[in-house]
Structure formats: C-alpha cells, structure tokens
Structure 1
Amino acid sequence: MELAPIFHGGTGSHSEEKDQPKVRPSRYESGTLNTPGIAGLSAGIDEVMKRGVETIFEHEWMLTKYSLDKLSDIDGVTVFGPDLNVERLAVIPFIIDGTDVQEIAMIFDQHYQVALRGGLHCAPLAHETIGTIEGGTLRASFGLYNTLEEIDQWLGMIKEIKEGLVG
C-alpha cells in the first residue's frame, strides 16, 4: 500500500523534476539530512538572539538594496523578484543574458572562489512561472557578515564574466 502524503514539496535529489521520485526511500525523503546544519543550530540561535532579528535584517536589506540598484546598471543582467523598493530577503536570482547559468556558477567557484547556485533550485514550478525553466537562474545571497566592499567585488566579477563571455 502506498502512503499518500498530505503535503507535497521539494523533489530531493531529483531537483529538476516536478514530482517526487517513485522509488523508496527517495519517495519519502525530500532532501539530504542537513547534519552540519543541525549541529550548528544552537550556535546560530545564540548569535541571532545576541544580535537581534531586526539588526540582521536591516544589514542584509541594505546589502540587497545596494546590490539590486547596482545590478540594474549592468546591461545584459536580468534580475528576478520584487521591485527594488520592496523589502525582501537577501537572495537575488539573476541571469547574465546569453550565458549558461551552470557555466557562470562554475566560473565563480573556480576562478573567484565565490559560491553561487545555478539551476532550478529545487523549484521548477517557480522557474516555469518566471520563464527560466530551460536553464534556471543564478542565485546569490548575503548575510550578516558580508560587507559593501564584498558586494562591489562581486559586482566587478559579474561585469568581468559578462564582458569575457558575451562582450
């Protein structure tokens, strides 16, 4: 007898698929257990309690708004998500027009030692909605310990990669 889940979501190791895998145990596991995340949870909670959620959000929003503003000045870069003045979390999905997101993610990793995620991000229906189902997007995120100087370096990397690949 098959179990019928009440809620559906995520596709685990098959992130490019819309439906859960048919085979067990993958059918019932929407991802790999995040053991390091579990181990660090207590320290993370302590840090958030010490700094305060509002302070953390204000810093991340400042970095995000700055990034979105600067990205809008780079021709050939398309950013997805709310308008510039709508508060959002520090996650920016984008593409460099005319390039492959996986190739760009690899360049960031190997050439700059910067981790960006490329692809469908375990959310193919979201990518279907925004029109990026064929290749996905790059996804950058910022945190409490990032600085404006690092954002400027990252923006310079985007410009350099764009110039090198599409002119």
Structure 2
Amino acid sequence: MSATQDRGMIRRDENSINIFHDKKNEAGYKRVLPGQFVIHLRSFQGGFAHSAIEGITSPAYTVFGFSEPEKHDSEYWKYVFTSKSFIRRLETVTYGIRDGRSISYEEFLTLGFAYPSKAEQTAIAQYLDKLSDLITLHQRKLDKLKIQKIYVGKNVFVRKM
C-alpha cells in the first residue's frame, strides 16, 4: 500500500507514481488493517493516512490503531488527523529539516485530545462524508461546465483570415 495526502492509504497500483520495490523485502513490511492510521514521510504536510483496507506498507512508516477501539470511530479521526489545526500541532512533535522531517510517535501521544462520544464521532464523520461527497459532485459539475465553456467559446466565434 502507499500513503497519500488526499486519499489515505491506497493500493500501490492505484497510485499514479510508479514506485519500485523488491518483493523479496516484503517480509519486513508492516501490516495495516482497516481503521488504522499510518504516519508517513509527508505527514508533516498532510497529516496521518487513514486506511480503509488491509495490506502491507513500508517499514519506514509507523502504523497505529486505538487501544480502546470501542471509544473511537476511525472515520471521525480521519478528519481530525488531516485537519489544518492538527497538522499545525504536529509541528511541535516534528524533528529534522525539510523533506526529511519525521513525526515522533511517542511525542504525538503526549498531544492530548478532547473528543466526543463514539456516537457523536460517528454522526460527525457521516456528516463530513456527505459534505465531502457533495463538494466532489459540485466540483465535477464545475469541471464539465468549464469544458463546455471552452467548447462554446471556440464554436461561437469564427476567425476570419
């Protein structure tokens, strides 16, 4: 699997980037389960990657889940762990320079979080999912309108030589 900033954990073949890896080294890869999170090399820019699927990922990543999953909805935390305010908080537990920065998992655990009940987390996540779907729908409509505008503009005016 590959960690992305905008789609969470995805199957490697769904990534447009061709990343070579030696299948002989997969024994050292880390198992990722649905509902877990991955601290990846770009987490300081886009937050933690949520996984909705099972797979394996680079041993360079830190994989974690909740110690008390009955209290947490991972879909809710997916939004928290990719929010701008959370990413700003990550700066306090990030070390290194430039693109080589790493997130200290141990220090991440010290950040402390206030959170609602699991039922509220689920309701919030469902609302945000619907909102995200609506935004995607309108973005697609906008993209179609932009194409139509270009087409109409080209066909309305005739260039005389």
Q: Give the TM-score normalised by structure 2.
A: 0.23
Higher RCO (C-alpha under 8 Å, 6+ residues apart):
1
The structure with the largest strand share of the pair is 2
Pair member with larger Rg: 2
Q: Give the TM-score normalised by structure 1.
A: 0.22
